[in-house]
Amino acid sequence: KELSKWRPEVIELWEKCSVPETINKETFQKSFIRHVNTTLARSIYNVDNFSAYQATAHAVRDRLIQRWNETQQIHTERDQKRVYYLSLEFLLGRSLDNALLNLGLKDSFGEGVKELGFKMEDILDQEVDAALGNGGLGRLAACYMDSLATLCYPAWGYGVRYTYGIFQQKIVDGYQDEFPDYWLNFDNPWELPRVDIVVDVQFGGHVNKITEGDKVRHEWIGGETVQAVAYDVPIPGYGVKNCINIRLWNSKPRRKFDFGKFNAGEYDQAVQEQMKAEFLTAVLYPNDNHMVGKELRLKQQYFWVAASLHDIVRRFKKSQRDWNEFPDQVAIQLNDTHPALAIVELQRILVDEERLDWDAAWDIVTHTFAFTNHTVLPEAMEKWPVPMISQLLPRHIQIIFDLNLFFLQRVEKFAPGDRDFLARLSIIEESTPQYVRMAHLAIVGSHRVNGVAKLHSKLIKETIFKDFVKYYGPDKFENKTNGITPRRWLHQANPKLSELITETLGHKDWLKDLTLLKKLEESVHDKEFRRRWMAVKHSNKVRLAEYIRDVVDVDVNPNALFDVQVKRIHEYKRQFMNILGVIHRYNTIKSMSPEQMRDVVPRVVIFGGKAAPGYYIAKLVIKLINSVASVVNKDSTIQDLLKVIFIPDYNVSVAEIIIPASDISQHISTAGTEASGTSNMKFVLNCGLILGTVDGANIEIHEEIGDDNIFMFGHLAEQVDDLRYAHRYRDVPMDPHLDAVIKDIESGSFGEARIFAPLINTLTFGKDYYLISDDFGSYLDAQKLVDEAYKKEKDWVKKSILCTANMGQFSSDRAIKEYAESIWGIIPVKV
C-alpha cells in the first residue's frame, strides 16, 4: 500500500541502489577515508587515533544501520509477538570491538586500519564506555540484549539516555572522589537520533470527571509537558544478520515557548522552565541496591514509562487488531520495580483513552507484564509517598487506589476477616504519609514474577513475597538464573583463551552453545594443552600488571596469585571482611622467620568498585583499603609476598582487563543477601577459581563445577536470622583473629585510628549486621586452602580448565531462551 505512490521505475532504481556493498578490507578503507573526509571534515594530515576511531565506528555504524533496518522491516512484516525489556539502566560499555566481532569484521577491518597506519588496539582504546547503569542489574540488561539479538528474537529495549552516566571515580588521598561522566562530549556514533519520534509526557495538572449517561470517565489535564525524543542504539547479534534496538529517551522542552511570560518581561523564568525539562534525563542516580526517594527520580521513571508505552501502543495500533489481542502481540518485562508505573499507565491508556471497561483493561494489563525482582534487601525496596505521586500524577494515584481496592476485595474473599493479611498484601502502606509499595504493584499487575538465582527465587517466596504466594499459589513465581554473554565476556575480553578453545574444540560453535565447552574436560590430561592454558592466564596477568602500573604506579609480580574482588562497594558484599583478612595475612607474614616466609604464596590482592556518593561507610571501606595498601606496598620486610591494589574507576572496560587475569576472585556476601551476582560467572568462565559464600549463583556454579574446583565457606542463609538475633540480644564474643586485626587498626597501624572508628563500630555497636565476625574464622581457613591448592600447580591448572568447561549453564542465551519460552511466549524471526 505504501509503495503504490511510487512509479515502478523509481522502485527499481531504489532497489538497485540499496543493494548493500560487499564488506571487505578495501570497501572498509574507502568508507573509512570517506568518513574522515566528510563526516569528520579532516584529511590525511590530521587524523589522530581518535579520529581513526570515529571513522572506523562510522564505517561499522553504516553496516549496523543496514542490518537494523532489515531486522525492523522483517519484524514489522511478520508482526509476531515482541518482547519489550524495560530497564532504567543499560550498562553497555564499549561498542566498537563488540560490533566488529559480532559482525565478523574484526580481521578485515584490523588489516584495513593497519595498512592505513593505525593499530586496532589503539583505536579501540579511544572509545569511552556507555555507562548508563550502576552494576549488575544494568549489565544484565546489556547481556540480555546481546542474547536477544543473537537468538533472533523480536525484541526491543527501552531506557533513558542520561546525559551523565555513572560518575567517574578518582582516588584522592585514599578517598573516593566523584567526577561527572559527560560521555556525550564527542559525537556518539552508536546512536541514531530520531528527532521525528517525539512523545509529549505530562505531569501534574488535574483530573476531570465526566459523566456520560450512566458511565463515568476520567480525563487527565496535565499541568506541565516535557517532550521525549527517541535515540536508537542498534544491538547486533553474533553471527546473524539480526540487529535489535534499544530506544533511549531524552527529555527536551516543548517547542512551545511561553511567550506570555516572555512578553511580560519574565524572559528568564520562561527559559528556566525550558531548562528544567532538559534536566529530567540529565543524570543516572548512582545508587545500587538502595532506594533514594527523590522526586526527580520518580519523574524520570514516569517520563520513560509513558514515552515507551506510547510507542508500544502506537506500534500495536498500526496492526488494527482487537485490544484483547494485545497480550498475544506484546510482552513487557519489568527489570526490577523501576518501571512498575507502566502497569498503571497502560491501565490508564486503555480505560481513559481507549474507553475499554475496567476489568477488560485489567485483564489485558496483567497478561502483558512480567516482573523480575533483583534483591531482598529491605533498604532497596522501592516505595513512594502517596502525596508525591498525587502531585505529579494525579490520575495515576486514583488508578492505583482503585486497583488496590479491587485487589483487596478479592483477597478479602480469599481470607475473610484477616485484616493483617490484607494490610500485608496491600499496595498501599498505611503509614503517615501513606506509601505506594512498588513491588506489590508489580506483582499484582504481572502474570509472572521471577528471582534471578535458585536460592534468591526460593527466598523471595519464603520471605518478602510469602503472602503473595499464599494468595496466588506458587506457580506465579519462577526462577530464572541470570546469565552472561560469552561473546563479550570470553571471546572479546579474553581473545587468547577464546582462540585456544576454538582450536581445541575445532569449531566456534561454543560461542552460540556454551554447553559445548564441556568437551574441554577431555583435554585436562594433555600436558601441552595445560601448558598453553597456563600461558594464556599468565599473559592476561601480565596485561593486568601493566595496567596496574599505568593507573596506580605499583609494580606487581605476574607470578603471584592474583586475588580479585571487583564490584560495587556495599556492606553486604563485605569488602570490609576482605581487607580485614588482608591485614591478618600481613601481620602473619610479618611475624614469620625468613625460612617460614619461603613457604608463603605471594599474593596480589586487587580491589575495585564504586561506592554510592552518599554511602559514608562504603566510602570508608575504600579509604581503609587504600590506607592498608600504602603501608603494605612499601614494607620491604615482607619481600613482595603481599601487594594491595585499589584500581580506580571500575567499569565494563576495566572489567574486561581484570577478569581474565584472576586466579581467585571473591564473592563473599552474607548468605542470602546477594540475589545472584553475575561477575562470579564471568570469572569462572575465564578459568578463575572462586572463593565464595553459599549465596546467589555461587551455589549453582558450585553444583556445576564440583566441590574440588571452588572454595566455599561461611554460614548458610537459614542461619542468618538466628545469628543476628544473638548479636542483638546476647554478648557474642568476637572471633579472636578479627579482634586482633581490629586492635591493630585501632592502634594506628594504618593511619589515624579515629578515621576508621565509624567502620569498626559497625562490628561492635552496629551489632555486626553482616556477620563478619561469624564468618571470619571459616574465611581465613578457606584462604589457607586457596594458598595450599595454588602451590600444586598441575592440579590448579586442572581445576582452572574444569571451571571453564562446566560453565555452559551460565550463558545469557540459556537465560533468554527460558524467559522467551516460559514467560514471554515469543519465537525467533531470523533475518
- DSSP per-residue letters across 668-706: -PPTT--S--SHHHHHHHTT-EEEEES-TTHHHHHHHH-
Q: Which residues pair with 479 in a beta bridge?
A: 451
409: amino acid identity, one letter: Q
The span from the CA of 625 to the CA of 783, in Å, is 18
Q: How far is the CB of 289 from ligand T68 (least distance, A)?
A: 5
Phi, psi (degrees; rounded to nearest 5) at 158: -125, 130
**Residue 191 binds ligand T68 (CB under 6 A):** no
| Active site (annotated) includes residue 25 | no
380 binds ligand T68 (CB under 6 A): yes
Stretch that binds ligand T68, among 130-138, 167-175, 420-428, 803-811 (CB under 6 A): 130-138
CA angle 534, 488, 645 (to 5 degrees): 60
Distances (CA, A) of 698 to 454, 662, 702, 775, 801: 10, 17, 6, 16, 18
Which of the stretches 116-124, 417-425, 672-680, 724-732 binds ligand T68 when contact is defined by CB under 6 A?
A: 672-680
User: What is the nearest approach in angstroms of ligand T68 to the Cβ of residue 715?
Assistant: 18
Residue 567 a catalytic site member: yes
- Indicate whether 289 belongs to the interface with ligand T68 (CB under 6 A): yes
Q: Which stretch binds ligand T68 (CB under 6 A): 374-382, 392-400, 404-412, 420-428?
A: 374-382
137 binds ligand T68 (CB under 6 A): yes
Choose the stretch contacting ligand T68; rule: CB under 6 A; options: 124-132, 373-381, 421-429, 798-806. 373-381
The burial class, CB within 10 Å (0-12 / 13-18 / 19+), for 115 is: exposed
Matching residue, cell 548493500: 20
Decide if 678 is catalytic. Answer: yes
In the bound state with ligand T68, the residue whose beta carbon lies nearer, of 134 and 176, is: 134
Site string for ligand T68, 679-698 (x = CB under 6 A): -----------------x--
Shortest reach from residue 130's CB to ligand T68, in Å? 16
Looking at 128-136, 175-183, 341-349, 741-749, which segment touches ligand T68 (CB under 6 A)? 128-136
Q: Do the Cβ atoms of 830 and 78 come closer than 8 Å?
A: no
In the bound state with ligand T68, the residue whose beta carbon lies nearer, of 136 and 602, is 136
SS3 at position 217 = strand
In the complex, what is the shortest distance from the CB of residue 197 to ligand T68, in angstroms, rounded to a whole number? 27
- Asked whether 776 and 738 are in contact (CB, 8 A), the reply is yes
Which are the contacts of 176, defined by CB distance < 8 A and separation ≥ 6? Answer: 169, 170, 610, 611, 619, 622, 623
CB of 377 to ligand T68, least distance (A): 8
* Contact flag: residue 677 with ligand T68 (CB under 6 A): yes
SS3 content of the chain, % helix, strand, coil (to 5): 55, 15, 30
Our finding on whether 141 is near ligand T68 (CB under 6 A) is: no
Would you say 99 or 443 has its CB closer to ligand T68? Answer: 443
Give whichever of 612 and 738 is closer to ligand T68, judged by the CB atom.
612
Determine, following the binding rule CB under 6 A, whether residue 571 of this chain makes contact with ligand T68.
no
Mark whether 568 is an active-site residue: yes
* Residue 717: CB minimum distance to ligand T68, A: 14
Q: Does 403 bind ligand T68 (CB under 6 A)?
A: no
Q: Is 375 in the site for ligand T68 (CB under 6 A)?
A: yes
Burial (0-12, 13-18, 19+ Cβ within 10 Å), 313:
middle
Task: Name the residue among 650, 647, 640 with its Cα closest to residue 604.
Answer: 640
Is 452 an interacting residue with respect to ligand T68 (CB under 6 A)? yes
612 binds ligand T68 (CB under 6 A): no
Task: Give yes or no for a contact between 552 and 647, defined as CB atoms under 8 angstroms apart.
Answer: yes
* Residue 92 near ligand T68 by CB under 6 A: no
374 binds ligand T68 (CB under 6 A): yes
Closest approach of ligand T68 to the CB of residue 55, in Å: 35
Report the C-alpha gap between 47 and 35 in whole angstroms.
Answer: 11
439 makes contact with ligand T68 (CB under 6 A)? no
| Minimum distance from residue 440 beta carbon to ligand T68 (Å) | 17
Binding test (CB under 6 A) with ligand T68, winner from 146, 478, 563, 674? 674
Radius of gyration of the chain (CA): 28
Catalytic residue among 383, 567, 603, 715: 567
CA atoms within 13 A on the CB side of 17: 6
Residue 675 lies near ligand T68 (rule: CB under 6 A): yes
- DSSP annotation of 526 reads -
682, 702, 715, 737: the catalytic one is 682
Q: What is the DSSP letter of 809?
A: G
Nearer residue to ligand T68 within complex by CB, 154 or 159: 159
Q: Which residues of 556-568 are buried (b: 16+ CB within 10 A; e: fewer)?
A: bebebbbbbbbbb
Catalytic residue of the set 61, 568, 574, 584: 568
Number of H helices, E strands in the chain: 34, 24
Contact 779, 714 (CB under 8 A): yes
Q: How far is the CB of 740 from ligand T68 (least distance, A)?
A: 32
- Classified as helix, coil or strand, 212 is strand
Minimum CB distance to ligand T68, residue 384 (Å)? 13
Least distance (Å) between residue 137 CB and ligand T68: 3
Given 374, 480, 603, 798, the catalytic residue: 374
- Is 135 one of the binding residues for ligand T68 (CB under 6 A)? yes
Extract the C-alpha cell encoding 129. Answer: 564506555
Residue 168 binds to ligand T68 (criterion: CB under 6 A): no
3-state secondary structure labels for all residues of 223-277: CEEEEEEEEEEEEECCCCCCEEEEEEEEEEECCCCCHHHHHCCCHHHHHHHHHHH
Closer of 375 and 627 to ligand T68 (Cβ): 375
| Smaller CB separation from ligand T68, 54 or 301 | 301
Which of residues 382 and 735 has its CB atom nearest to ligand T68 in the complex?
382
Return the residue matching grid coordinates 476477616. Answer: 417
| Total site size for ligand T68, rule CB under 6 A | 19
Window 298-337: contact mask with ligand T68 (x via CB under 6 A) = ----------------------------------------
Q: Which residues are catalytic?
A: 374, 567-568, 573, 678, 682
Binding site for ligand T68 (CB under 6 A): 134-137, 140, 287-289, 374-375, 380, 452, 482, 674-678, 696
